[in-house]
Amino acid sequence: MKVVKYLRGIKISAGFTLMELIISMGILMVLISILMTVFGQILDVQLESKATSTVDQNGRYIMSRLIHDMQRASTITTPATAGQQTNTLLIVINSIDYTYSLDSNGNLVLTNSNGSENINNYDANISALTFKRLGNNDSNDNVQVTFTVSSRTQKASGTEQKTFQTTVGRQ
């Protein structure tokens, strides 16, 4: 409904017609749907980035921690013999036993005389952990380490995971 007013002899219309309102609401709906799509894509990219970052950071940290401790070890207790493969690593550093193993929640746990601590963070799940001894208790002892890190962050394309493998020796 248009309101017509006269001001000093000039006809002034106030308000909008129904057609103008419908057209402006349609344009607004198109803009909102475009913005929602863009926002959804931004969230998907953020989740993928977080999942990939979590997997890479946890894998690199676990590898560096294992390498550091293995190089300081005086003895590899488990796996005990060459060719033996276990899911637990027991090494001795300065007469203290260090045990690496998985718990039931998918965490890599380091246990020593100071207690237990998770090596991975809460966003990562560790699986398929194996330690294979490649030497016979001499100065060239090596252990092949394999594990898979999965992100607990669910992204649109599924779970991000990566398998890490290295061979670590005592010095």
- On whether residue 9 sits in a domain, the answer given is no
Does this model's pTM top 0.85? My answer is: no
Cα–Cα dist 129/142, whole Å: 16
- On whether residue 127 sits in a domain, the answer given is yes
Cα–Cα dist 103/16, whole Å: 68
Number of structural domains the chain divides into: 1
- Residue 124's pLDDT is 95
- On whether residue 96 sits in a domain, the answer given is yes
- Residue 6's pLDDT is 62
Cα–Cα dist 91/137, whole Å: 12
User: Which residue is listed with tokens 């979590």?
Assistant: 54
- On whether residue 5 sits in a domain, the answer given is no
- On whether residue 161 sits in a domain, the answer given is yes
Q: What is the mean pLDDT of the chain?
A: 89
- Residue 109's pLDDT is 97
Query: Which residue would you say has higher pLDDT here, 137 or 71?
Result: 71
Q: What is the mean pLDDT of residues 130-156?
A: 86
What is the per-residue pLDDT across 73-114, written as a single tens digit (0 to 9) for each? 988 889 988 889 999 999 999 999 999 999 999 999 999 999
- On whether residue 2 sits in a domain, the answer given is no
The residue segments making up the domain with residue 42 are 15-169
- On whether residue 45 sits in a domain, the answer given is yes
Q: Is the pLDDT assigned to residue 153 strictly greater than 90?
A: no
Query: Which residue would you say has higher pLDDT here, 139 or 43?
Result: 43
What is the per-residue pLDDT across 114-133, written as a single tens digit (0 to 9) for each? 999 999 999 999 999 999 99
- On whether residue 144 sits in a domain, the answer given is yes
SS3 45: helix
- Residue 90's pLDDT is 95
Res. 170 pLDDT band, cuts 50 70 90: confident
Residue 64 burial (CB count, 10 A):
10
User: Which residue is listed with tokens 């293995």?
Assistant: 70
User: Which residue is listed with tokens 């017509």?
Assistant: 4
Q: Is the pLDDT assigned to residue 47 strictly greater than 70?
A: yes
